[in-house]
Amino acid sequence: MVVEPLAEADPREIGPYRLLAVLGHGGMGRVFLGTASDGRLVAVKLIRAALADDARHQGRFRREVAAARRVRGAYTAPVLDADLDAPTPWLVSAFISGPSLQQVADAGTASDAASGATTDATTVGIAPRTLPEEAALRLAAGLTAALHEIHGAGLVHRDLKPDNILLTDESTTTGVPLTANDKGVWVVDFGVALATDDAPGSTRLTRTGWVVGSPPYMSPEQVDGTAITPASDIFSLGSVLVMACTGASPFAGTSLQQVLHNVLYSEPDLLALPNRIRRVAEACLAKDPAERADLSRLRDLIGQAATATRPWPSRVRDLMQAQRAEVERILGPVHDTTTAGAEGDEKIMEQQGNRSDSVHRRRFVARKVRQRPRNRVSTGGGGSPAD
């Protein structure tokens, strides 16, 4: 999560949600940090104005909303609201505070550059080392749990990559250690998800010459256009896990064509991985989907994650703290809680979190914001959101 200030042309309100900052950009649109009427922080995805009248992109956005609503669990951000018939369609989900795995890698790149270390900038999919073995196993366990929820909802994610994986650490703010069933891993973005109850062999959203997914983390069947099943996500999990430990996709190359060739034909070099990680990666990265491990087998290979007060390395914790500080800055100072009803009062809310049948209570501070008259979309400088 990289928090950017709103531009002059950015909307200030979407439906009943007040927008505070920009969280990210994508081909379909932008994601904003916002607040609900009860003070909760939310993530608001707004389709690009240039695509709002495009029937194909509208259809894709509708499928994304439908897919995200099908998934209910502790490892994916729940959809809270959406208006698909608005002049500029939007989707609201729970705000997850934490860096993506890609941002962790990028922070390492910046650190290496500052220290004089060099990397091969011409290689597609290369990043510095990110996670030590125990943290990588926790990541693998969290991704396995997330895929259990996604596949159980009848979906294939199709774009499991470092950008779509968020790392969180509840213990940093609450002091309560993460348990074995709370991995601190979230999977987001169902923009290219595929329903497994589509016709067999369906490649919906795919056109001739189009690549659906992120090449260094795609499965062979995504590259060659054959039938997509949940095993495709298992292959992507293996690629993400290798990147998390070595800093590189196992299929990285100097061009897109080489990356796609590697995914289809090259056997990944896993010798640098710790033994436990290598066994998991090998089970995921078989070229033949029928030969890949299923989720049950992966859970056996990964084992049980230990309870931890610091599940992630210091680089990740530093990013988390910096992002929380930026959100606090955007929200502004908290006023004295003895002033009942004043703008900015702290409101202690209890949030129920369910991690694989274990229920624990979390406390977080949500600030009430003064509500203004609500338009469907209002912009600070007039016009449509810039993208």
Q: State yes or no: pLDDT of 309 exceeds 90.
A: no
Do residues 80 and 67 touch, judged by C-beta distance below 8 A?
Answer: no
Residues 222-252: pLDDT tens digits?
A: 999 999 999 999 999 999 999 999 888 999 9
Both 291 and 353 in one domain: the answer is: no
Both 145 and 225 in one domain: the answer is: yes
Sign of CA dihedral 305, 309, 314, 317: positive
Model confidence band, residue 33 (pLDDT cutoffs 50, 70, 90)? very high
Model confidence band, residue 89 (pLDDT cutoffs 50, 70, 90)? confident
DSSP letters for 211-241: --S-GGG--HHHHHT----THHHHHHHHHHH
Identify which has the larger pLDDT, 25 or 112: 25
**In which residue are the tokens 């016709």 written?**
199
The two three-digit tokens of residue 314, written as one number? 């210091």
CA distances for 190 relative to 127, 178, 184, angstroms: 24, 26, 19
- Is residue 66 helix, strand or coil? helix
Q: Which domain holds residue 226?
A: 101-306
Q: State yes or no: pLDDT of 373 exceeds 50.
A: no
- Interval 375-380 mean pLDDT: 36
Both 196 and 222 in one domain: the answer is: yes
Strand partners, 367: 346
Q: State yes or no: pLDDT of 377 exceeds 80.
A: no
Residue 279 lies in a domain: yes
Both 219 and 365 in one domain: the answer is: no
Amino acid making up residue 377: V
Do residues 142 and 310 touch, judged by C-beta distance below 8 A?
Answer: no
CATH number of the domain encompassing residue 40: 3.30.200.20
Residue 153 lies in a domain: yes
Residue at a domain's end among 306, 323, 342: 306
Residue at a domain's end among 271, 291, 306: 306
- State residue 85's pLDDT score: 84
Residues 61-83: pLDDT tens digits?
A: 777 778 778 888 889 888 899 88
DSSP letters for 130-192: ---HHHHHHHHHHHHHHHHHHHHTTEE-S--SGGGEEE--HHHHH-PPB-TT---EEE---TT
Residues 149-194: pLDDT tens digits?
A: 999 989 899 899 999 999 998 655 444 455 555 678 999 887 656 7
Sign of CA dihedral 285, 287, 291, 295: positive
Region for 344 from its dihedrals, namely left if φ exceeds 0, alpha if ψ lies in -120 to 50, beta otherwise: left
CATH number of the domain encompassing residue 207: 1.10.510.10
Residues 1-31: pLDDT tens digits?
A: 568 889 998 999 999 999 999 998 766 678 9
- State residue 3's pLDDT score: 82
- Is residue 248 helix, strand or coil? strand
Residue 149 lies in a domain: yes
Residue 319 lies in a domain: no
- State residue 315's pLDDT score: 86
- Is residue 133 helix, strand or coil? helix
Amino acid making up residue 249: S
Q: Determine how β-strand 248-253 pairs with β-strand 358-367.
A: unpaired
Residue at a domain's end among 288, 306, 324: 306
- State residue 58's pLDDT score: 65
Q: Is the pTM of this model over 0.85?
A: no
Residue 314 lies in a domain: no
Residue 51 lies in a domain: yes
**In which residue are the tokens 């993400």 written?**
240
Do residues 3 and 22 touch, judged by C-beta distance below 8 A?
Answer: yes
Residues 6+ apart with CB under 8 A from 47: 28, 29, 57, 58, 61, 88, 89, 90
- State residue 65's pLDDT score: 77
- State residue 182's pLDDT score: 61
Residue 322 lies in a domain: no
Strand partners, 362: 351
Both 58 and 137 in one domain: the answer is: no
**In which residue are the tokens 């069947």 written?**
221
The two three-digit tokens of residue 179, written as one number? 């348990």
The two three-digit tokens of residue 97, written as one number? 């505070």
19-23, 93-97, 190-194, 366-370: least confidently modelled range: 366-370
Residue 105 lies in a domain: yes
Both 113 and 79 in one domain: the answer is: no
Q: State yes or no: pLDDT of 338 exceeds 50.
A: no
Both 61 and 106 in one domain: the answer is: no
- Is residue 258 helix, strand or coil? helix
The two three-digit tokens of residue 317, written as one number? 């914790």
Burial 201-239 (b: 16+ CB within 10 A, else e): eebebbeeeeebbbbbbbbbbbbeeeebbbbbbbbbbbb
Strand partners, 11: 379
How many structural domains are present in the chain? 2
Both 89 and 111 in one domain: the answer is: no
Strand partners, 126: 248
Q: What angle do CA 348, 189, 173 make, to 5 degrees?
A: 30
Both 184 and 46 in one domain: the answer is: no
Nearest to 89 by CA among 33, 124, 37, 45: 45
Residues 190-224: pLDDT tens digits?
A: 765 676 655 444 444 344 444 557 899 999 999 99
Residues 251-306: pLDDT tens digits?
A: 999 999 999 999 999 999 999 899 999 999 999 999 999 999 999 999 999 998 76
- Active site amino acids: 159
Q: State yes or no: pLDDT of 84 exceeds 80.
A: yes
Do residues 143 and 240 touch, judged by C-beta distance below 8 A?
Answer: yes
- State residue 57's pLDDT score: 60
Both 161 and 298 in one domain: the answer is: yes
Q: How far apart are CA 226 and CA 29, in angstroms?
A: 29
- Is residue 308 helix, strand or coil? strand
Do residues 295 and 151 touch, judged by C-beta distance below 8 A?
Answer: yes
- Interval 143-147 mean pLDDT: 95
- State residue 126's pLDDT score: 47
Nearest to 47 by CA among 87, 20, 17, 81: 87
Both 162 and 199 in one domain: the answer is: yes
Sign of CA dihedral 249, 251, 253, 257: negative
- State residue 310's pLDDT score: 77
Both 233 and 153 in one domain: the answer is: yes
Residues 342-359: pLDDT tens digits?
A: 343 333 233 334 443 333
